[in-house]
């Protein structure tokens, strides 16, 4: 089954529960949308982060 959330189509949950059906409240993140926060959490920032951008690890 396909679901659409905020204009983004995706696969629905394969698990079907009658008492607590799946809900779809937000769209999935775009490619590299949260990369700044993720790299910051693991200690990559500043010059090292800019190097990652230059190597196209991050979607500019």
Number of domains in the chain: 1
According to DSSP, residue 10 is labeled E
**40 within some domain:** yes
What pLDDT shows up at residue 28?
81
**22 within some domain:** yes
Question: Which of the residue ranges 6-15, 18-27, 41-50 would you say has the lowest mean pLDDT?
Answer: 41-50
pTM here is: 0.44
Q: Which two tokens stand for residue 8?
A: 């983004």
Q: Range of 29's domain?
A: 2-54
For 21-44, write each residue's pLDDT tens digit.
Answer: 888 888 888 877 887 788 888 887
What pLDDT shows up at residue 57?
60
**23 within some domain:** yes
Q: CA–CA separation, 14 vs 36, rounded Å? A: 31
**59 within some domain:** no
**48 within some domain:** yes
């Amino acid at each position: 089954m396909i679901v659409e959330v905020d204009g983004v189509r995706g696969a629905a949950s394969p698990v079907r529960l009658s008492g607590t059906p799946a809900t779809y409240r937000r769209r999935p993140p775009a490619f590299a949308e949260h990369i700044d926060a993720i790299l910051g959490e693991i200690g990559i920032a500043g010059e090292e982060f800019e190097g990652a951008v230059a190597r196209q690890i991050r979607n500019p």
